[in-house]
Amino acid sequence: MEEAIRINEKDKRVKRVEGYRWIVWIVLAAVYVFVTFHRMAAGVVKTDLEEAFNIGAAQFATLGSMYFYAYFIMQIPSGILADKFGPKKTVASFSLLAAVGSIIFGLASNIMIAYLGRFMVGIGVSVVFICLIKIQSRWFYAKNFALMVGFAGVAANVGAVLAQTPLVIATGTFGWRNTFIYMGVAMVVFAVLVVLLVKDDPTDMGLPGMDELEGRPAVTSAIKVGEALRSVMSNKRTWIISLTYIGLYTGYVVLLGTFGVSYLITTYGMSTIQAANMIMVAVIGSAVSSLLVGYISDKIKKRKSIVVSLSLVTLLCWIVFVYVKMPVSMLMPFLFIMGFVMSCFTMCWTVANEVNDRRYSGIATGVVNCIGFAGAAVVPVLMGKILDAYQSMPALGYQKAYFVLIVLVAVSTAASFFTHETKATNVYAERK
């Protein structure tokens, strides 16, 4: 009788974990929507920003890249913060900084203040994704890791969707300045929700943690930072998956957040809202991919074959997109497919976690993101300089600018062939 009561009590506690985890996840995923909104928004308001600050393509690209420079320098520190201090404190405090940055950006009277606001936003939101991955590793079963990364990808794409046609409508209604001010105020609200609702681990509520439920050694936040960094950064598998990630992710940012809309306007003579609608189709493809690819990968317990095959198709799509002017009727299905395959970069986060000590999931994700965001910061600026040099021949300028990106995607595709197959398990112990 006592045994039955004990089992029943344990079942209730497990169900409490399985229920409350979604509250924790939804709050952080909602904050992540702001992250990708700010990441992608610059491309849609490109004309407004160029007129407001009297700048060309190169300065516009620099303005957009301020976010990525900030994000780049914060990725490893973000991993350390997530692993050592926990997602709750980290996300709540940094979200307030991002909120202030968004408001400063909306109020900016000159380009230097706009740079500052954009940089502050990048610093503030830089911690969110890594903290979300950390939360998923502490609240969800390991067997569902890739699927949960896929759900995170859906949240990201909600932000990317909001930064397309809805942003065009919002800026038309409120003006671009007020839109960014309102987004800053909204981030303050969600920072408060993080404080009130997020818990770093089920054990913080007196509930059994995933370590106990899955019968594995307990993981604590009492890590040695130097030891953790050495472990992750001396692992060659970390660098291979990071190299795979850089081209795929940079391409995603360029298409959805920097030059995708303006390229369609120049090449196909579309209006801003028509071009934004087209790019939104690629975002939808990316959202579908985030869920489906993660689910299939978990189901068949394969990582490498998926990354390799989708990387190859991504490279082909970029070549066609830049060098083949297709009928407008074909653009929508093509961009859906392109968005779908290029989002295989989400698998890189999963692989990074599975080839490293799981105690250092934040740092492992941070290192991969650091490499990817370096590409996302530098490549658009190079492309902007090329576009400025070919202002009298914009179509040729876009071909030459995109060639830089295609080379990087090709390098990443080649690296994908050397990715380690984890079979959906943590293989850190087998690294030698």
pLDDT tens, position by position, 164-183: 788 889 988 999 999 999 99
Q: Please give the Cα distance from 33 to 161 (Å, whole number).
A: 10
- Cα 138–Cα 135–Cα 235 angle in degrees, nearest 5: 80
Average pLDDT over residues 53-81: 85
Q: Please give the Cα distance from 253 to 311 (Å, whole number).
A: 16
Crossing angle for the helix pair 2-44 and 111-125, to the nearest 10 degrees = 160
Q: Which residue has the tokens 């969600």?
A: 190
Torsion 368-371-374-379 (CA) sign: negative
Phi, psi dihedral angles at 318 (to 5 degrees): -65, -40
Q: pLDDT by residue (tens digit) across 183-217?
A: 999 999 999 999 999 998 888 888 877 777 766 66
pLDDT at 141: 80
Q: Place 270 in a pLDDT band, splitting at 50, 70 and 90.
A: very high
Closest residue by Cα to residue 202 from 42, 405, 18: 18
Q: pLDDT by residue (tens digit) across 84-137?
A: 888 999 999 999 999 999 999 999 999 999 999 999 999 999 999 889 988 888
Q: Please give the Cα distance from 370 to 382 (Å, whole number).
A: 19
Q: Please give the Cα distance from 338 to 281 (Å, whole number).
A: 10
For residues 4 and 222, is the Cβ–Cβ distance under 8 A? no
Q: pLDDT by residue (tens digit) across 368-395?
A: 888 988 898 889 889 989 998 998 898 8
The mean pLDDT of the chain is: 88
SS3 call for 287? helix
pLDDT at 346: 85
Place domain 2-199+225-421 in its CATH homologous superfamily.
Answer: MFS general substrate transporter like domains (1.20.1250.20)
pTM of the predicted protein model: 0.77
Q: pLDDT by residue (tens digit) across 217-235?
A: 665 556 677 888 888 989 9
* Higher-confidence position of 24 and 12: 24
For residues 261 and 279, is the Cβ–Cβ distance under 8 A? yes
Q: Where are the domains of the chain?
A: 2-199+225-421
User: What are the CB-based long-range contacts (under 8 Å, 24+) for 45-50?
Assistant: 45/167, 45/171, 45/176, 46/261, 46/262, 47/272, 48/171, 48/176, 49/114, 49/176
φ/ψ bin of 271: left (φ > 0), alpha (ψ from -120 to 50), beta (otherwise): beta
Average pLDDT over residues 314-333: 95
SS3 call for 210? helix
Q: Please give the Cα distance from 102 to 432 (Å, whole number).
A: 46
Torsion 355-359-361-366 (CA) sign: negative
Closest residue by Cα to residue 351 from 414, 311, 294: 294
Q: What is the DSSP letter of 255?
A: I
Q: What is the DSSP letter of 108?
A: -
Q: Show Cβ contacts of residue 258 under 8 Å, excluding neighbours closer than 6 positions.
A: 42, 43, 61, 64, 380, 383
List C-alpha distances in Å: 329 to 32, 332, 340.
33, 7, 18
Q: Show Cβ contacts of residue 375 under 8 Å, excluding neighbours closer than 6 positions.
A: 246, 247, 249, 250, 408
SS3 call for 234? coil
> Is the pLDDT confidence value at 353 over 90?
no
Percent of the chain at pLDDT > 70 equals 95
Q: Please give the Cα distance from 244 to 235 (Å, whole number).
A: 15
Q: Please give the Cα distance from 418 to 270 (Å, whole number).
A: 41
Following CA atoms 32, 39, 232, 375 in sequence, which dihedral angle do they give, to the nearest 10 degrees? 160
